[in-house]
Structure 1
Amino acid sequence: MTAEAAEARRGFRPAERLKDLVNAVRADPGISREALAGLLARHGERQEDLTEQAFTREDAEGLRAAADRLGALLAEPDVDRAAHAINALLAECGARPHLSRHDGHTWHLHIDRGDDATWAEWFMASSALALAQILTEYGRIPWGECAAPGCTTLYLGLGPGSARRYCSTACASRARVAAHRRRKREGG
């Protein structure tokens, strides 16, 4: 597989795209159209689909609103509430899943209304489908908001092992060190 093909294949990781986009919007609620286009390009969207004519300021505004809405779902710790929220999003999308292969990519699942869907509709539909797949595969919620004090970064814990609680090893280490120091102070 060529490096270009590998990058194109990597681009179809809608849960990673969801996490990155939501975290970007949380960090900067007014994130620019250009920054959003760059983020989408890093996740496999074609440059010609991200021009100012194809991905407008209004599209960026809709995408920011969708990311804000999906951020609440990624922060939901209760599996039943998350499942009901995902079902509501899938019903709202009203689209049927279909396999698609385009632009040199391998077959992958789409769940949008096709070429008439807005960027926000596409993002909501593909994100809801990705979260539904993850929830059914893991049987639990492997995503969430970092448990480190002061950190609100969302994470996906899709690797092997126990459930994840932190967005990074740096946050996990900071939290462990703080807990150790707190225990030491309380014991001494």
Structure 2
Amino acid sequence: MAMVKQGFRPARRAIDLANAVRSTPGISRDALAALLVEHGERPADVAPGAFGEADAAELREAVRRVTDEVLTETGTDAAAEALNRLLADCGARPRLSRHDGHAWHLHTDRGDDAGWGDWFLAGTALALAQLLTEHGRIAWGGCAASRCGTLFLGTGPGSPRRYCSPACASRERVAAHRRRVR
């Protein structure tokens, strides 16, 4: 019996790629490939012969588009409209897929021959749309800490998150306390 990989999370992949491209706009093909492998892509599928410089440029541009149009959007309605545009632009048609030891999951790209940008846009739009409908609100955001801005997923219970990490939240609380004391 084949072992099934767990944790296939395209929304987490989108956030990690977005943060990487934001921090290093010209991130290398090798660094993108390493991130893709961390998120379940087979090393052979992102080797230089299968994922070249043009593919990396296409993926970087797709990541920028998702970041600019969706991940930095703060309004739920505007985010939903942006996701609908992405899905329409990609000609997204859901299909079930099972490959490389993953359980059955949805793909929304144009098929196995889709380019890396199309693959990323369609898959990310579907994943973020699922999060939006599941939570009834945007379940991602940018850190509210004054010197941060890191994107994060806020899919846990309770109020929507404002900070990417407990460290950023603590720094902001301490700074606010110090301002009040002065």
Q: TM-score normalized by structure 2?
A: 0.96
User: Which of 47, 60, 70 in structure 1 is aligned with 2:43?
Assistant: 47
**Percent of paired sites with the same residue:** 64
Q: Name the structure 2 match of 1:92.
A: 89
- Structure-to-structure mapping, 1:31-70, within 5 angstroms: 31-70=27-66
User: Which of 123, 126, 135 in structure 2 is aligned with 1:126?
Assistant: 123
Long gaps (5+) in structure 1: none
Long gaps (5+) in structure 2: none
Q: What is the RMSD computed on CA atoms of the aligned residues?
A: 1.4
Question: Deviation above 6 Å: which 4+ runs of structure 1?
Answer: none
Aligned-partner SS, 2:141 = strand
Q: Which has the higher helix share?
A: 1
Deviation at 1:95, TM superposition (A): 2.3
Deviation at 1:141, TM superposition (A): 0.9
- Work out whether 1:165 is the aligned partner of 2:158: no
Deviation at 1:103, TM superposition (A): 1.4
Deviation at 1:58, TM superposition (A): 0.5
Equivalenced residue count is 181
User: Which of 96, 101, 119 in structure 1 is aligned with 2:98?
Assistant: 101
d(CA) in 1 for partners of 2:149 and 2:39? Answer: 22
